[in-house]
Structure 1
Amino acid sequence: MKPTTQQLREIPDFLNVPDQQLQWLIDKSDIETFTQGEFLFKRGDATAHLSIILEGKIVIKLEQNGNFKVVGEISKNGISGLLPFSRMSSAAGYGEVTQDAKILLLEKSFFKEMVANHYELTESLVHNMTSRVREFTKNNVQSEKMMALGKLSAGLAHELNNPASAMVSSAKALKKHLSHVPEKFKRVTSIRISGEQVDTINDILFNSITNRPENNMKLTERAEKEDELEEWLEGHGLEDAFELTETLIDFCIDIPALQKIYDTTGEENFASAVEWIENVLTTEKIVDEISEASDRIAKLVQSVKSYTHMDRAQEKVAADIHTGIDSTLVMLKHKLKKKNIEVEKHFATELPHPKIYISEINQVWTNLIDNAVDAMEPSGRLQITTNKDKSFIKIDITDNGKGIPQEHIGSIFDPFFTTKSIGEGTGIGLEVVQRIINQHNGDIKVTSQPGATTFTVCLPIN
């Protein structure tokens, strides 16, 4: 049994549509019923009807690599299917009936008559279509942003955790270390040497701190040096010499330097002097570790600010493309390290600074680099090249992954097209990239074959 005009007027979109137009819709439409578990439409089905849900519920699902994701539902008084002026030709997903449904169906062959003779009805359906597109796009853009944020947050959490843990560990070690200082200080104050001798020891000590060389010894070489140093110290009256050798080696204090200290202090005072030197160097080493860890955190925070551009106004500004790319690489460092990806940067010198929306352009680098990493096997290679090409800045991002099948090349910038599984991609990342590039009056192209996929971004300088 078909609905009445009064029943159709319960649909918010039809509130101001005249009765005669609603009656026309009823007269030209058919009623179909669906039971739970059936499909109103499946992916790839031609869209040939306007559908109005009179009873029941329809769940909309998208399929990605055999997995399904619910993206919405339509219940009583909901409108679905083809709408006037819509360019949709086939269904992108599945409409599964989850509650027995009764649906009013209008063939698209009646659309011309509706547009020509029934303005209010057409207007209400067009408004419905624009609202649907706006809401659908907003939800999926939000989903893409949240997915990208989740990836960046995971990487940042990992990167911040390492220096933060190092600071906590070093602080505990420093507290424990300082608790032994009074006893060592007592021994060092009992040393009886001249001021000139003290100056000699201080010169050795502070020279090793201020001119601390980079210690690049291999493990086997270091082990040999520690054994040699431990044996020498024990031969010169130091018990538990193994506790001192690690720190002395860290500051490259070798046997000749220790021999000079021994000659300066004499046998009686040598042990106390070396213990005090090791104590000062240990304190210096722990403070250095804390300083280095806090510096890493500060640099990460600065990279976040640079990446998001959150300390600037949201307007186009002349910016260094390299800064944005470097900040993005910091944001994705955890993912790059996890797959042991080698990054090769070939940045042009004195590259002009185009006017851009910085945070939006950084989204471009994030999506392109993240996709490249996903496409590569462990120990892959990512190449980023920049140069000036006439009135444009040209950026090539190349990975040596499996490549994009030729049959998919023409679709990769289409909304909701993805080869990733549910939860790994929404299918709008590259569509967002293209939209941002278009917003900047730029261009993006892709070439791909196994072992070499290159996305080329061109941004106008002026």
Structure 2
Amino acid sequence: MAGKNPAKRLIEGTQVLSLVISIGTIFIVQIVSIFAISVFIILDLNNKAENAADETVYILTEPLYNVDDSQISRIADALLSSGRISGIVIDTSATGIVVNKPAPVQSRWIKPRIREVNYNDFFLGTIELQFSDNELLLTIKRFLFAMVVAVIAILTVYLIATRVLIQKRTQRVFSALSEGISEIGAGNYAYTIPETDYEDIDAIINLLNEMTRRIQGKNAELVEINVSLEQRVAERTAELEDSLVELRRMQERLIESGKLSALGQLSAGIAHELNTPLGAIQSAVSSMVNSFDKKLPEQPAFFSSLSDQEQNLYTKTVVLGLESNKTLDIYLPSRRETKEIEALLEQQNIPNSPEVTACLADMGLLNKLDDLLPYLAINRNREILAEVSDTVIIRRMIEVITESSAKASNVIEALRSYLTTTVFDTTKIIDVETDIKKVLTLMHNLLKHGISVKTEFSGLLVQARADTLSNVWMNLIRNAVQVLNGSGEIVITTQEQDGRGIISVKDNGPGIPPEIQDRIFEPFFTTKNTMQGMGLGLDICRRIIESSQGKIWVESKPGETVFFVSLPLAEYV
């Protein structure tokens, strides 16, 4: 296991501890010895330095008196070569400094000795003797070497002794104990560990043997209990399985009941959503039939009666009109723009300017005036544009039929998807945003009166049960609509966060009081009247989300309530 300390052995640990204590004791004794010897050597060297200074004064008195500088230099060199001193400085009263040979490194423990040389009360000069620590350091090094040799010898003897005498004896005792513990650990509780000749070890062995006897007794009891327990668990498992089956059936009935209840509340809106495009289709077809029956047969004769210039206007207007009316998003000028265009045509001396402007506006061609202006300067322009208008309007009616049938088809597809009775026991990849859009299609009539819906989608795909997830969106959006009471904003957002898909439904309603926020997911808890629900909607939502390994929660404050749904992200094989 990561972070576990390496295994230790008691015998080896004890030997190491004893060895460390022994070595520490030896080192302490040696350090104290080195200190004592060093103090003794330093005192001895200082005494020798005093003697050397006195002897040097005696030797140099006569040469200093005779002012024999060469003799003084020879004596100084002899003193330095003897090794007793490391440096010498001789300053005579007659000639000044005769010898100036200071020590390369001054001694830390032996201070320089300075002596005045006098002869019959006559001052001859001064002598400074300097010393080094070489002798002291050499003595300490020799002692350290002897100490290291002694420590190595002691360690060698100690290791041999512990290996031969102590370790073998303790291993014989502990091996029998270890073998017995291994047998017990392997489940052999009938094994009895033999006693030794050591009282403390035998106390542990007796405890282990007593423990194994108790374990054997408890095992016999457990075997009897286990037999009866297996039978009881089997019976209880069968009961639980039956309960789970019945619970799932009840949950599915509640979900279907919730779907039908929501659909009943939305039925008028869905009927309106279907009637609106069907009415538009019916009106467009009526207009097209009228044009085909009354106007189209007259078109060839009318076109043949036109001059070349008039045919050019006819043809150009048809081409631009059909192109502009391929969608219902045609150019619709304001009244001011229409007046300005009419005045422009009059300035260009275009006949019938008001009627021409009106016809072009009906066909959505006022933004194409620059293309048509060269063809409009003819007297029959109003008549030609009126004829062309019937053809262009037919193209627009075709687009009305196309978009209206698509809208009706979307409503029917959303209704079919919402009411699906297929049950999925396993999860599948679900496009959450497509699922929400289908629900919004069913609720369009309920949402368009004073309530705006904004969506901030991120292309989210989740792993969930496809048969029930749309019921969650229906409940959350319907609850938001009810609290907004006909005026407000709903914002639906999808995003990925921390490896999960997060869907939120936010409204700017009055908010949920803090004292009931923890209870809103309880079954049969509701703040609405009985006509609006029994308090099962959010409980069903919670069960649906949890069945897909998800989570649902709410965050609310005055002026804002957000329901969050967390689901596993889609898994691709």
Whether TM-score is above 0.5 comes out as yes
Structure 2: gaps of 5 or more residues: 1-242
Is 1:398 the counterpart of 2:506 in the alignment? yes
Q: Measure, in 1, the Cα distance between the counterparts of 2:494 and 2:562.
A: 13
- Retained in 2: the 8 A contact 1:232–1:255? no
SS of residue in 2 equivalent to 1:358: coil
Indicate if the aligned counterparts of 1:185 and 1:276 stay in contact, CA closer than 8 A. no
Per the alignment, residue 260 of structure 1 pairs with 374
| Higher relative contact order (CA closer than 8 Å, sequence separation 6+) | 1
Preserved CA contact (<8 Å) 2:439 2:473: yes
AA matched with 1:332? M
**Is the contact made by 1:412 and 1:430 (CA closer than 8 Å) also made in structure 2?**
yes
Larger mean CA deviation between 299-308 and 406-415 belongs to: 299-308
Match of 1:297 in 2: 408
* CA separation of 1:228 and 1:356: change in aligned 2, threshold 3 A: farther
CA distance in 1, matches of 2:551, 2:244: 27
Equivalent position to 2:362, from 220, 226, 247: 247
Counterpart secondary structure, 1:384: strand
Contact 1:230 1:245 in 2 (8 A): no
Q: Give the TM-score normalised by the residue count of structure 1.
A: 0.60
Q: How large is the RMSD of aligned CA atoms in angstroms? A: 3.8
Partner of 1:173: 287
Aligned 1:362-401 pairs, distance under 5 A: 362-401=470-509
Whole-Å separation in 2 of the counterparts to 1:401 and 1:219: 37
Query: Residue 202 of structure 1: which of 283, 295, 315 is its match?
Result: 315
**Would you say 1:279 and 2:394 are equivalent positions?**
no
**Equivalent residue for 1:342, pick from 428, 433, 452:** 452
SS at match of 1:398: strand
- In structure 1, distance between residues paired with 2:330 and 2:244: 65
| 3-state SS of paired residue (1:378) | coil
* Deviation at residue 370 of structure 1 after TM alignment: 0.8
CA separation of 1:216 and 1:239: change in aligned 2, threshold 3 A? closer
Q: Which residue does 1:156 correspond to in 2? A: 270
Deviation at 1:324, TM superposition (A): 1.2
CA distance in 2, matches of 1:354, 1:240: 59
294-303 vs 311-320, greater mean Cα deviation: 311-320
Distance across 1 between alignment mates of 2:356 and 2:531? 56
Contact 2:324 2:365 in 1 (8 A): no
1:111 equivalent in structure 2: none
- 1:276 deviates by 2.5
Q: Which amino acid aligns with 1:396?
A: S
3-state SS of 2:448 partner: helix
Aligned amino acid, residue 286 of structure 2: K
Q: How many residues align?
A: 326
Cα 1:138–1:280 change in 2 (3 A) is: closer
* 1:258 CA drift (Å): 4.5
The alpha-carbon distance between structure 1 residues 254 and 148, as it changes in their structure 2 partners (threshold 3 A), is: same
Deviation at 1:180, TM superposition (A): 3.0
Partner of 1:41: none
Deviation at 1:458, TM superposition (A): 0.9
Q: Describe the shift of the 1:141–1:273 C-alpha distance in structure 2 as closer, same or farther (beyond 3 A).
A: closer
Letter in 2 for 1:188: F
The Cα shift of 1:311 comes to: 8.9
Relative to total residues, which structure has the larger strand share, 1 or 2?
1
CA distance in 1, matches of 2:301, 2:552: 71
Greater Cα shift, 254-263 or 442-451: 254-263
Provide closer, same or farther for how the CA distance between residues 439 and 178 of structure 1 changes in structure 2, counting only shifts above 3 A: same
1:330 aligns with 2:441: yes
Which residue does 2:301 correspond to in 1? 186
| CA deviation map 1:167-219 (0-9, x unaligned) | 1111122222333313454333222328xx74664244213422559445464
Scaled by the length of structure 2, the TM-score of the pair is 0.50
Deviation at 1:457, TM superposition (A): 0.9
AA matched with 1:383: V
Q: Indicate the residue corresponding to 1:427 in structure 2.
A: 535
2:517 alignment partner, one of 409, 412, 417? 409
Whole-angstrom distance in 1 between the partners of 2:341 and 2:421: 50
Residues 364-385 of structure 1: CA distance to partner in whole angstroms, max 9, x if unpaired?
Answer: 1110111011111433121222
2:478 alignment partner, SS class: helix
Whole-angstrom distance in 2 between the partners of 1:147 and 1:226: 56
Which residue identity does 1:280 align to in structure 2? T
Distance 2:440 2:320 in 1: 37
Which residue pairs with 2:558 in the alignment? 450
Identity rate, percent: 26
**How many Å separate the matches in 1 of 2:317 and 2:536?**
63
Q: Distance in 1 between matches of 2:344 and 2:406?
A: 33
* Bigger Rg, structure 1 or 2: 2
Contact 2:491 2:507 in 1 (8 A): yes
Partner in structure 2 of residue 288 of structure 1: 399
